Structure 1
C-alpha cells in the first residue's frame, strides 16, 4: 500500500517541480529574450518568440568595396577587439584573390554579402541581364571562398537610387532581384568616406555623428577598399560613439522580421 501511494506521489512531485521551473524560464524568456530564447516546436518546426523592445537602438555597420589586403584585416582586428560584428559587401574578383581574408571574416562571425563582381558601373548597369550575370558571378566567388550559401541580400554599387544607371533599367533590375527573393540594402547613415580618395578622419567622425542623430535603426555605410586608411583610423571611435548612445550591433545574418520591417519603413531595404 505504501509503495502504491509512493508511486503516485512521485510523478505528482515531478510535474509540480517542472511547472515551477517552466514558469521561471517563461518569465525570464519574456523579460530577457536575448538571454532566454523561448521556442515552440510543432512537427519539427521551430518558431522563436521574441519580445521586441521599441526603445532599443540598433546599428548595422557595413563595409563596401573590399576585401583589401591592407585595410580589411585591420578593420577585422578592431571589430574583434571591440567585440562587435559587421557586414561586408564584397567585390567578387577581390574575394577570389583574397580568400584567406574572406575566410577570416567568416570565422569571426562577420556577414559577407555580394556588392558586385567587377564594380564596373558601365558594364553591370547596361542591362538587367548584365547585372544579374555579374551578381551570380560575385555570389559564386563568395560561396567558393566561404563554403556557405549566401543569405538573400545585396548592395547595389552606388546604391539602389544611383544616377549612373538609366532609371527604367534600374527599376527593372530591382524587380528582377526581388523576384528572385533577394532584398537590396541601402543606408541611412553615411560616413562620407567615399567623397574623395582619402577623407580626413575628423570629417568621417563628424559625418557619422551628425547623420546618426535621431536614428534608432541605422545602417552605416563605410568602405574597406585599399585607399580607405582613414576609415580604419576612425572606426574605434565610431564604435565607441554608438556604444555610448546605447546601440546594439547587428549583422544582416542576424536580422529578424522585426528588423526587416523597421528598415523597410526607414527606406533602407527595397526602397
Structure 2
C-alpha cells in the first residue's frame, strides 16, 4: 500500500505547524543539546513535522554514480526519496520509501524495466534507521518531549527515541558553536549482502546552510561502518549536497 502514496501526497498530508520554537522550551536539556538546537533552529521558527528536500550527489553502486533527487520526510508518516541515477549513461529512476510503517524500494531502467525491487520486514526496519539518521534535516522533531537526551561530554549528545517500533540511540557530535559535525546510530541492515544485523551507520557533515529558519547539513558523506577505518574504504556510499529545503 505504501507504494501507492506519491511524494506529493506525503507532503500534502502534513498539516502546517502551529507551534513555534523558543529557546526557553529547552530548559532542562543537556547543554550540548541546547547548543545544537539553538544553532539549528532560529527563535520564532514554526516547529515543522515535515521537510521537502532537493539534492544532488553521488551514490556508490560498484562505482560512484551521479544522482539528483527529491525527498519528503514526514515525522508522522515516514519518507519517500525519489531519485534519478545514471549508470553507464543510462537513466535509472525509482524510490526508497517508508510510509505508514511499511518500507521498500523500486528502481527501473528508463522508468520502465525493473532493476531492483525489495520489501519486507528487514527492509522496513532498515528504512526506519535511515529515517532516524536523517532527522538532522528535520531538527524540529528533536525538540519533542518524548525524546530522552543525555550528554556524556561537551561535544556528544545521545537521543533515545522510538519510531514505528524501532528503538534508537541517535548520537550527534556538536562543535562549540552548536554546528553538527556528525551523526551515527546502530542501523538494521546487511551492508555485506549476508544476514541482516545491527551495524554502525552515520555521516560526516562537510558544510551547512540555512533554509526557512533551520540551519542543517548541506554537504554530507554517509554510509556503513561509521567510526571505523572501514567507513571510508568500503562503508561510505552516499555523497549528498542539499540544494533546497522547505518546511511545514
Query: TM-score, normalised to structure 1's length?
Result: 0.26
Higher relative contact order (CA closer than 8 Å, sequence separation 6+): 1
Larger Rg computed on CA atoms: 1
Higher helix share: 1
Higher strand share: 2
